[in-house]
Amino acid sequence: MIPDSSSAPPPHVVVLMPLRDDWDSARELIRRLDQAVANVCLVEILLVDDGSLQRCNRDNFHGNYCAVRAIRILRLRRNLGHQRAISIGLAHIQKNVRCSAVLVMDSDGEDTAQGAVDLLSAYSEAHETKAIFAARSRRSESFVFQCFYHLYRLMHLVLTGIRVRVGNFSILPAEYLNTLVAMPEMWNHYAAAVSRSGLPFAMIPISRGKRIAGTSTMNFTALVAHGLSAISVFGDIVGVRLLIGCAAGSLLAALGIVLAILIRFFTNQAIPGWATYVTGTFVIIMIQFITIASSFTFFMLSARANLGFVPLRDYLLFVEEVVDIHSHE
């Protein structure tokens, strides 16, 4: 993303960071990011304050930055979770900020400044025409977490047919915002919405860093909800796959009933009372599959008729204020 000539203006990138009480980490990450991209682009930082309990000390963010031209806080009225904070931040940028690209990254330091440089480089090599996501080449979480994570990836693949390889860390052209902020799926999961949008994107391997300060507030329940939110973006695909699975299960149950009847009346292998028990069991299983399939069908039809939360239209409901805490003089 380095300009081709000295006469060309440097690219203007908005860095979107959702956070909740991670002010110390965010301050240090901005300092590192400023040093890393000093010769690459100009950046504007948008910190989406997702219902922090601690107020930001503006003085801590003042400094002699090279690349950072402005730091703003988009304060939300309540805690919504980082996926929805990202959704609101992107809608705000689309409506109020002119830029060439948007870099989405966590504020705790696990998305590193060097990783941001790698994304910018890959974005430039792609001629700034597609989104670039960080595919995690190495994770630093515990063994138990990684076991559940791989289980989630398997479930996601089975239900949606799509492999999970990316998180929020990414850069996308500003033009993409016109599509993404009009997608209700964005309200549930940013990366999944980009995948669902059909907009071109690529992935590059980037190692995950370590938290700069404090401890993560993400617990097991929140992680499960996060995973289910990603799957919900592909709700119609999941519904069709489950519908096919229920139909296949009903067919197998029907075949089991036929087989039990054939064994009962045309062979001498049946144990007294066995055929009645087996047939009744298969009938119950078949009724359950049919009930589940019917429920999914009606759920899918009702979901398609419901527009849901559209970030571009509804994001202002949760915005309390926008605060400038640093500007380049």
Going by C-beta distance under 8 Å and a sequence separation of 6 or more, which residues neighbour residue 279?
257, 260, 261
pLDDT value for 2: 47
For the full predicted model, state whether its pTM sits above 0.85. no
Separation of CA 104 from chain center? 11
Residue 191 in contact with residue 165, Cβ under 8 Å?
A: no
Residue-by-residue pLDDT tens, the chain, 329 positions: 544 444 455 689 999 999 999 999 999 999 999 999 988 889 999 999 999 988 888 888 888 899 999 999 999 999 998 899 999 999 999 999 999 999 999 998 889 999 999 999 999 999 989 999 998 765 556 667 677 777 877 887 888 877 777 789 999 999 999 999 999 989 988 999 998 899 999 999 998 888 888 776 666 677 777 777 777 777 778 878 888 888 888 898 889 888 888 887 777 776 667 777 888 888 888 888 888 877 777 776 666 666 778 999 999 999 999 999 988 76
Beta-sheet strands, E only, within the chain: 12-19, 42-49, 68-76, 101-104, 131-136, 166-173, 201-206, 319-327
**CATH architecture type of domain 12-233+311-327:** Alpha-Beta Complex (3.90)
DSSP assignment letter at 40: T
Q: In what order do the strands lie in the sheet with 68-76?
A: 201-206, 131-136, 166-173, 101-104, 12-19, 42-49, 68-76, 319-327
DSSP for residue 311: H
